[in-house]
Amino acid sequence: MFGLVPFRKNLPTRDYFNQLMHGFFDDDFLIPFGNMANGFRLDLRETENEYIVEADLPGVKKGDITLHYENQYLTISAKRDETQEVKDESYVRKERRYGQFQRSIYVDNVIEDKIDAKFNDGVLTVTLPKQDKTQKRRGNIQIH
């Protein structure tokens, strides 16, 4: 006679398969391609007096980054071009990364003319001082 077999979640092969698939398709899946499809990673911290945005932009030159703050959105745009001329034709594998990408993040209550940005070792740090909600301005931000 046939009976119903209860479903068991913790079968070793199921766990192995789930871990394999999760590890394969997690956030790092696209890193070999420069993570262009997902943009880039960033963190937003808040202190008593300011917001701090840190964005990972490896392989990007400072002159290829544009920051813009308007309507309470900070937009970070960047392009990466790592194509190089190689005179030695004996390479076994050659990879190039090129792409343009941008991210926008909502940050309210900011003194726009005091926004500061620094780019060092592939990390962009944007400091957005807090303000009274009555002041509103817009414009581009210079990177130091």
Contacts of 140 (CB under 8 A, 6+ apart): 66, 67, 68
Residues of the chain predicted below pLDDT 70: 1-38, 82-89, 93-97, 132-139
Do 31 and 101 share a domain, yes or no? no
111 is a domain residue: yes
pLDDT at residue number 35 = 43
Does pTM surpass 0.85?
no
91 is a domain residue: no
Torsion of CA 111, 54, 31, 76, to 10 degrees: 20
30 is a domain residue: yes
87 is a domain residue: no
Domain span holding position 16: 8-35
pLDDT at residue number 21 = 56
pLDDT at residue number 123 = 96
Number of domains in the chain: 2
pLDDT at residue number 81 = 74
128: which 2 tokens? Answer: 């957005």
58 is a domain residue: yes
46 is a domain residue: yes
Q: Answer yes or no: are the C-beta atoms of 64 and 40 closer than 8 Å.
A: no
